Chains A and B, each alone.
Chain A
Amino acid sequence: MCLIELKGLEKSYGKTKAVDNVSLQIMEGEVFGLLGPNGAGKSTLISMVTTLISPDSGEIVIKGNSLRKKTGEIKKLLGLVPQEIALYPTLTARENLMFWGRMYGLGGALLKERVEEAFELAGLKERAGDRIDSFSGGMKRRINIAAALLHHPEILIMDEPTVGIDPQSRNHILETVLKLNGKGMTVIYTSHYMEEVEFLCSRIAIMDHGKIIAAGTKDELRKLVDERDIINIEAANAGNKVVEILKAIDGIVNASAEANTIKIIAQDAETVLAKVISTLDRERCKVHSINIEQTNLESVFLHLTGRALRD
């Protein structure tokens, strides 16, 4: 059943179109991934769904109701985890959660109960009385998420919730998302970390320059690159000039370079590998390692845009 429907959403800032004619459907109970590089328009899209900004045109329908017409009712269904740590650093974790609970209309015994529940979920009960500014980045992120869950929303919207945290906290967050989804919560998860989206989401939309350039299940997206191979090469002096030469090799679909890593999408890795190595040798790029992998979302993005996801 369709829970959220975005119809022709547009938002511009001056001459820049941050969101350009976006239409999407998000089903009840799914984890929907919104993947794209920084500046792709994901946060703007999220801001429109969470009523922070109004679209220039288009409509958002949630549970059959227009967000514009029934803002108050729909807000009760939403829980927002912003990309930033939207907490008060000089207040304790408990004071923060109590405050956010009140902002979601909770009070009395129910509020206290929900705050305890949120601490359980965040795994930070023993730090409840400590100030947020004494927490590590990962712990702050976990409280940031807990604050959005106090009112038991039907839809959890997470905007890059794992930016800048340690692997342990990241794993905790990813497990939490799966746990919440297991309980029936619909999750919209935006990230530029391909692995996270690939791990969590059943359906994914890829955004670039304000547009949805592809949407579907992981398998549907992989099919867009025809099961092609990805060759990751770590090499010294890997620059744009080398990439252009590689692109001209027969059998190479696309190529890009970031830092000292060259990423190549090829129809068949074995066929082109010899030519790639001899080209790199000729261009004095000393090869340190070569890794061949199956098609993933990163290669889909590369295939669709000609750029790596983290460009």
Chain B
Amino acid sequence: MLLHIALKDLKIIFRDRQALAVMLVMPLLIVVILGSALGSSFSPQLAIQRFTVGVVNNDEGLMSQIFINEVLRGKLSDMFSTFVIDEQKAEEMLKSEAAPAVIVIPEGFSESIENGKPVRIDIKAHGDSRLKSGIVRSVTEGFAENLSMGYAGAFATLDTLKKYNIPFNAQANGVSNATAIMGGLQKKLGSEMLKFKEIDQEKQKTISAMSYYSAAMLVMFLLFGANTGTKLIIEERESRTLGRLISARPGKAALITGKFLGLMLICFTQAVILIIFTQLFYGVNWGVSLTGIALVTLSSAFAAAAFGMFIAAIARTVKVADGLGQLFIQAFTVIGGGMWPIYLMPEPVKIAARFTLNWWAFNGYHDLMMGMNPQTVLPYCGILVLMGLAYLSFGILKFRV
């Protein structure tokens, strides 16, 4: 019965040409207009200028020295300005936002790598610099992964030499046999050994204006989609159709659940259509994680549908719902970075942005576009669901037939 109510709402919306124009055509047009007009705001230079990275080196071994001198201050010196500092200074730098991220190399890092043990380098990041800290994290993880892989190869080589009784002893030169083989490999392969995810990073320094606005408009028009569904609820209330539903078999709880499901279904379908269309025709890369996209889309649809129930509860007429919806959605979109990149916004707006559904949903999609994995977007999804629950609670409490 719930599903019949939800599917009926979906059918009604998709028969309404005006609603379809608002939900599907408008966002696609606005993406093109904003993407073309504000594309310059998304140049890689602006997105990631060279920035400071602090390194707390608790290891002092060979591997950490290679990482600092050959990677951070070497190959990637055009990207990072690297300072080796202590823990206290690191905290200060993060607090004052002098550095968006600090790399903490643990004690025994080099030894662990040389002995083929798993290693981990911690990244401390400033909350507002997700893009930059993401780059630092990716470079660091890339270094650790490649080094571990290299050493795995070196150990395999040593085992092979041992198996065939071929003598190999480099310890007289003050390095372990594995390190000696790694050194040899590095000389032979040159910079290939330290390429890590650098190429990927170049690609992902920033997303294009088209991608940015595809995500931003998707979120904004999800809310408009929910608001279209909300107006349908109010029309049903005015025509006493909701009352008639209650007088039939479904009780109030079933009716509310059915209407909420309907709104969610409308939003989810709309999001899927927009994602597929922008990927196919605008070349937007929504990321490689289908699970991640599904998670962000579902939680965004949940939050948008809950927002719709909230508007349905406070608006008495379709006109009021329309006005209130537009007011809230446009305000959320501007504050949440849907019109201009959030990093161009003043600090108070950046703080206010976190109170909007748009900011969390957009950042979920943004991170996926940047190549992040589904785990990265879980916090955004969690916040979206929590915000949705708050809206929904109000909507249920004040639901009228």
Contacts and interface: CB of A to CB of B under 8 A. Distances in A.
A51 B247 contact: yes
Residue among B4, B12, B247 facing the most chain A CB atoms (10 A cut-off): B247
A52 interface: yes
Contacts of B248: 75, 80, 100, 103-104
A83 B244 CA distance: 11
Contacts of A75: 247-249
Given A103-B1, A103-B245, A91 B8 contact: yes
A88 interface: yes
A141 to B, nearest CB: 13
B341 interface: no
Contact of B240 (A71, A78, A84, A99): A84
Main secondary structure of the interface of A (DSSP, over half): loop
A90 B4 contact: no
B333 to A, nearest CB: 29
A299 to B, nearest CB: 32
A72 B250 CA distance: 9
A148 to B, nearest CB: 8
Nearest to A103: B248
B371 interface: no
Interface string B234-266: 000011110111111111000000000000000
Given A76-B249, A103-B248, 14 more contacts: A51-B246, A51-B247, A52-B401, A78-B247, A80-B243, A84-B238, A85-B239, A86-B239, A86-B244, A88-B8, A90-B15, A91-B8, A102-B1, A103-B249
Given A85-B239, A86-B239, A88-B241, A103 B12 contact: no
Nearest to A131: B15
20 contacts: A50-B243, A51-B246, A51-B247, A52-B247, A52-B401, A71-B251, A72-B251, A75-B248, A80-B247, A82-B240, A86-B239, A86-B243, A87-B239, A87-B241, A88-B12, A90-B15, A95-B11, A102-B4, A103-B1, A103-B250
Contacts of B249: 75-76, 103-105
A264 to B, nearest CB: 38
B202 interface: no
A82 B244 contact: yes
Contacts, number: 65
Nearest to B13: A90
Nearest to B19: A90
Interface string B1-12: 100110010011
B235 to A, nearest CB: 9
A103 B258 CA distance: 12
A62 to B, nearest CB: 13
A47 interface: yes
Given A50-B247, A75-B249, A103-B1, A91 B11 contact: yes
Contacts of A85: 239
A71 B243 CA distance: 15
Nearest to B14: A90
A83 B247 CA distance: 14
Interface string A100-133: 1011110000000000000000000000000000
B252 to A, nearest CB: 9
Of all A-B residue pairs in the complex, the 10 with the closest CB atoms, nearest first, are A50-B247, A103-B248, A86-B241, A82-B240, A86-B244, A80-B247, A84-B240, A52-B243, A84-B239, A90-B15
